[in-house]
Amino acid sequence: MSDPDSISLGHVASAALELLRKHPEGLSMAEMRDMLDMGADSQEHFNRRVRDIRKVYEMPLRRRESDGASIYVLGNPKPQADSGQVSERLRAAVIHLAHGRCQMCGRTVAGDGVKLQADHKVPQSWGGPTTMENLWAICEACNRGKRNYFSSFSADEMKQVVHFESVHERIANFLRLHMPEPVPAWAIEFVANVRDQQLDWRKRLRELRYAPIGLEIEVSKKRDDKGVQSFYTLKNWRDLPPDHVRLIKDFERRKDR
């Protein structure tokens, strides 16, 4: 569901919506056109704009007691289904915020000639919404790589992984899905950053090896189409204790002494 006010209404529809808000008793089409100073020839255009509002708001047509005129009364916003479509406005805002730099690999439009695309960070099929927070600007190569790589995972499994609030749980459970295969660093970085910005996901991964957590994770280097990359392989599985963040901190304190 998205906020109805974030859906773009044209300026005529917005003005009509404002009028209806000021007149909770309801207004006829002719009254709204008069108040907005629209001539008779604009009738059809205006009817379309009113239909735009009715896509977003409940707006029952009623009969006014005093003069029998048909009037529209503004009701509640309608719940909007998220189609996954990125509007032009949203796309432009996402690309603008990236300042010409791919948010995944860091290559730039100016320096590397990449083309940026607005992409759902958490794919829609994993429950990701079409909102500013869940969109990022990435280059075509990154977008293709991400799509190809994640297409082998079941959406239900990934939905569970990205749902974890703890970054340790997200990384551990993602590696577990892959056991005993090596997972490329960029994919772990992606899963780590899916809910909040993780400045040091590699440290979060190392913490999973601490004795109280006890996961065994092997590192290897391999060359792929992006150059030499680190890969991580999970060798055993143990459920993470619910208080793993505290256990990690305690372990670190003891270690430093």
Among the listed residues 34, 33, 23, 36, the one whose alpha carbon sits nearest the alpha carbon of residue 64 = 23
Residues 112-141, mask of contacts with Zn ion (x by CB under 5 A): ---------------------------x--
Interface pick for Zn ion out of 102, 167, 191, 240 (rule CB under 5 A):
102
Minimal distance in Å, beta carbon 227 to Zn ion? 13
Candidates 35-43, 92-100, 101-109, 230-238 — which segment interacts with Zn ion by CB under 5 A? 101-109
**Binding flag, residue 105, Zn ion (CB under 5 A):** yes
Percentages of the chain per state (helix, strand, coil), in multiples of 5? 45, 15, 40
Quote the distance between the C-alpha of residue 150 and its chain's center: 16
**Main-chain dihedrals φ then ψ at residue 104, nearest 5 degrees:** -105, -50
Beta carbons within 10 angstroms of residue 64's beta carbon: 14
Give how many residues touch Zn ion by CB under 5 A: 5
CA gap 19, 9 in Å, rounded: 14
Q: Of the two residues 26 and 145, which places its CB atom closer to Zn ion in the complex?
A: 145
Rank residues 32 and 142 by Cβ distance to Zn ion and give the closer one: 142
Interface with Zn ion includes 183 (CB under 5 A)?
A: no
Number of H helices and number of E strands within the chain? 11, 7
- CA distances from residue 36 to 12, 15, 20, 74, 242 in whole angstroms, order as listed: 8, 8, 12, 17, 60
Looking at the Cβ atoms of 93 and 105, the one nearer to Zn ion is: 105
142 touches Zn ion by CB under 5 A: yes
Report the nearest approach of Zn ion to the CB of residue 144 (Å): 10
Q: CA 117 to CA 190: how far, in whole Å?
A: 17
To Zn ion, the closest distance from the beta carbon of 141 in angstroms equals: 6
Q: Which of 104, 158, 183, 208 binds Zn ion (CB under 5 A)?
A: 104
The site for Zn ion (CB under 5 A) is made up of: 102, 104-105, 139, 142
